[in-house]
Copies of this chain bind each other. A is one copy, B any other.
Amino acid sequence: MANKNVYFFGGGKAEGSAGMKTLLGGKGANLAEMTAVGVPVPPGFTITTEVCEYYFEHGKKYPPGLEKEVEEHLNRLETMMGKKLGDAKDPLLVSVRSGAAASLPGMMDTVLNLGMNDKAVEGLAELSGNPRFAWDSYRRFINMFGNVVMGVDHEHFEAQLERLKKKKKVELDTDLDAADLKEVVRLYKEVVRKHTNKSFPQKPIDQLWASINAVFGSWNNPRAVQYRKLSNISGLKGTAVNVQTMVFGNLGDDSGTGVCFSRDPATGQKVFYGEYLFNAQGEDVVAGIRTPMAIKTLAQKNKKIYQELVDVKDKLETHYKDMQDMEFTIQQGELFILQTRNGKRTGTAAVKIAVDMVKEGLIGEETAIQRVTAELLDQVFHPMIDPKARKSARPLAKGLNASPGAATGQIVFTAADAEQWVADGKKVLLVRKETSPEDIGGMHAAEGILTSTGGMTSHAAVVARGMGTPCVAGAKDAVVSGKVLMVKEKKFKQGDFLTIDGSTGEIYAGHLDLVQPKISGELQTFLSWTDKVRKQARRPGIAQVGFNIRTNADTPGDARRAREFGAEGIGLCRTEHMFFEEERIRIFREMIVAENPAAREKALKKLLPHQKKDFKGLFKAMDGLPVTIRLLDPPLHEFVPQTSAAIKELADIAGITVSRLKSKIESLHELNPMLGHRGCRLGVTYPEVYDMQVEAIISAAAEVAATGVKVLPEIMIPLIGTVKELEVLRENAEAVCERVLSRKKVKVKYLIGTMIEIPRAALLADEVAKVADFFSFGTNDLTQMTFGYSRDDVGTFLPFYIEHGILERDPFAQLDQVGVGQLVELGTKRGRSTNEKLKVGICGEHGGDPSSIDFCYRVGMDYVSCSPYRVPIARLAAAHAVVRNHKQ
């Protein structure tokens, strides 16, 4: 316990400072800081958080001497202000507020207008020449003090007020005049007496101590305790109490109040921005009853005050080195700053401000990087619902924010319809229960996608993110049946308009205007700084310098786009996605239902040129950068035809009867396909499939290399669970590569590695790494198996789990660091323990999630890989990780 328990601020001097947050709370420290730098802050004093700690540790007693210390500071305040609490002539009014080191918004108590009593009200009425204001202030004080300190329910006061308004036949509080409010004061005092058996305290010092007690007491009220628990806030001493002179903006036309920003929070432009109202209180500006005026107009109305305000904002921005959001009050021609804080801003503004401030010499590049969150940066790349349109619209329902950006259009219910309508010049949203690989065409055509089931890594979500198409997935309240969508009680038919926001998961009826993203000139500059930090990252025990961003791309187009966004390689090319084109799917199906290896090889031979062509495109697009290609992964039955026409067609191609084909298809059915015959298990049992794919990869690499392109192929074998699988498949792949390369007489360096997505592979990573050149953590599957959750089926319980706090968040959206993360960390460590040169990355959906990227950096990965549109975000998040972990 320090000797000093109370800190004064006022008159340009303060005993505290911004660095004393722990002791004075955020608000107290900030008031002290502003005062000290010469900003006109209403004077006051702060009772420390240590007092709060003492208070609770000693059965709600204060440390000895505190009473005296507070009274001394009160005297000092009264002297400085030339007013006295409760004075009949010139009363001082103060506020008593909480303020802890961390923000607990609205969780603790506040008392305003303290010092008011039967005498002071008269003094204030005369002094201000505004009796209505005086009586209004008094009745508010009784209500607030009565409620917060004396425990009288707010509704009892409200009931009296309503009764009077009825009697007076008026509707608004503002319609009551001074005499009415005087009557209200009388009624309120009766309420207090009735419910507490006490009269309302008239002695200001009693009011003050009772309020201090109440504010300290509110630190441990149930909602504050709960909030700290939920927000993981711990280790604080308690709240401070701030006693501060009240100022009023509603004392006539030479008074006013407003909010202003040191730069434009929407665009980031360095212009003074804000709004204000004369003769008003802060709540009037927010309430929207009167229309506030732009801050610039203040220059005409009151040049002196305007100039003061400009000086203050310059001073505060320079002092805090960030864009400031300030509240001010003008009381009878005098300016007071009530609060300043770093202002909220849009993504565009965040980037511009960060870059401008570096240019202005205000901050360094590393600080600039930290000023823009991944969430903010993400806004820059996606259309948003026009804020004006959003204001007046109310979302119908909410699903998962599966792929960011807003989209609007007419709804259709099948992929074929989507393609048709778009061909007819319409804009559509594709609405499905869930999507499947056969829907790809329609998904491409649609402006946005809405599904009623599935999670953050459902097919719709993954593909939409890959395409950069907005998507709301797993909207429980949306029921799709046939060509009808029911959202709660509302019915939507094909052709009706909907708007979705994939960044928030919200669904709106009808068409809302969108704002298209503008890529500013500052963005490139900003991202280049993030790259600098990221590429210089050095971590103990890890040979490679830097932390790379790759992309998950299946087509040359995706690859080029990702490269433009800054991707430094392909971390995952899913070869199976190449099979969904009309012509190829036929051959692929022929391969699947082949009755013997010969028939299978015949079909594979037909597929080979298609795959090779794709790979050549990828290698060209990624000239000089590594390209990781995953061999066939999903269970074969995902590809089999569903309609009887398609089945008939395939039977003809395969030369078997329809019934034979049907039984073949039936035999491919699995009870738990996610845990079935897929991934390398296909490669082991049907080696000719992987052989064809490896041949396509390495021939493509050789042919492209021969034209002078630098190719760096990395062949990735999925779903390894035993070392032997990788040994066998590696041997097969090497044999094919050597055969092709010696035939073509070309040298191509290639790597062969594996995905770590089966828990057992992570556990045995030391053994696996002996036969792998690289590991890529497939954290989608790893999460599925470590949790025992099917990502396609979690819809039945995961939302409930998150809602009820069983899980803090969706582990498919954000890597579960304490559980799944253990396997990732252990897999990385054990892998490197037997293979120093092992490259390690991640290619699951988590590769684009900032907190997961931070984790990947900490466990020592060489790269993360994410969808093309996510690459810039990942670049920023990676830079954040480097800075945060102090390891460059």
**A contact set with B: CB distance below 8 Å:** 670-677, 681, 684-685, 719, 721-722, 724-725, 728, 757-760, 763-764, 781, 784-790, 792-794, 796-797, 800-801, 804-807, 816, 818-820, 822-823
For A819, what are the chain B residues with a Cβ–Cβ distance below 8 Å? Answer: 721, 760, 763-764
For A763, what are the chain B residues with a Cβ–Cβ distance below 8 Å? Answer: 786, 819, 822-823
Q: Is the CB of A722 within 8 A of B806?
A: yes
Q: Is the CB of B684 within 8 A of A796?
A: no
Most chain B Cβ neighbours within 10 Å, of A673, A681, A719: A681
In the complex, what distance in Å separates the CA atom of A716 from the CA atom of B251? 69
For A820, what are the chain B residues with a Cβ–Cβ distance below 8 Å? Answer: 760
In the complex, what distance in Å separates the CA atom of A398 from the CA atom of B601? 30
Instruction: Name 26 A/B residue pairs within 8 A (Cβ), A-sorted.
Output: A670-B793, A671-B673, A671-B792, A672-B672, A672-B792, A672-B793, A673-B790, A673-B793, A674-B675, A675-B785, A675-B788, A676-B794, A676-B796, A677-B793, A677-B797, A684-B801, A685-B796, A685-B800, A728-B806, A757-B788, A759-B786, A760-B786, A760-B788, A760-B820, A763-B823, A785-B788
In the complex, what distance in Å separates the CA atom of A764 from the CA atom of B807? 14
Task: Please give the distance in Å from A459's CB to the nearest CB on chain B.
Answer: 11
For A722, what are the chain B residues with a Cβ–Cβ distance below 8 Å? Answer: 801, 806-807
Task: Please give the distance in Å from A535's CB to the nearest CB on chain B.
Answer: 34
Q: Is the CB of A725 within 8 A of B806?
A: yes
In the complex, what distance in Å separates the CA atom of A759 from the CA atom of B757? 13
Q: Is the CB of B681 within 8 A of A797?
A: yes
Q: Is the CB of B789 within 8 A of A675?
A: yes
Q: Is the CB of A675 within 8 A of B793?
A: yes
Most chain B Cβ neighbours within 10 Å, of A719, A801, A819: A819
Q: Is the CB of A790 within 8 A of B684?
A: no
* Pairs of residues from A and B, 4 with the lowest C-beta to C-beta distance, nearest first: A672-B790, A675-B790, A676-B793, A760-B819
Q: Is the CB of A788 within 8 A of B724?
A: no
Q: Considering the complex, give the chain B residue whose CB is closest to the CB of A792.
A: B671
Task: Please give the distance in Å from A447's CB to the nearest CB on chain B.
Answer: 28
13 more CB-based (< 8 A) A-B contacts, given A671-B674, A685-B800, A759-B786: A670-B790, A671-B790, A677-B793, A681-B797, A684-B804, A685-B796, A719-B788, A722-B806, A758-B787, A759-B759, A763-B819, A763-B822, A785-B785
Task: Please give the distance in Å from A421's CB to the nearest CB on chain B.
Answer: 28
In the complex, what distance in Å separates the CA atom of A654 from the CA atom of B315? 73
Q: Is the CB of B672 within 8 A of A674?
A: yes
Task: Please give the distance in Å from A639's CB to the nearest CB on chain B.
Answer: 16
Q: Is the CB of B818 within 8 A of A764?
A: yes
Task: Please give the distance in Å from A88's CB to the nearest CB on chain B.
Answer: 59
Task: Please give the distance in Å from A551's CB to the nearest CB on chain B.
Answer: 26
Most chain B Cβ neighbours within 10 Å, of A672, A786, A800, A801: A672
In the complex, what distance in Å separates the CA atom of A671 from the CA atom of B790? 8
Task: Please give the distance in Å from A719's CB to the nearest CB on chain B.
Answer: 7
Most chain B Cβ neighbours within 10 Å, of A725, A796, A820: A796
Task: Please give the distance in Å from A783's CB to the nearest CB on chain B.
Answer: 9
In the complex, what distance in Å separates the CA atom of A785 from the CA atom of B761? 12
Q: Is the CB of A788 within 8 A of B758?
A: yes
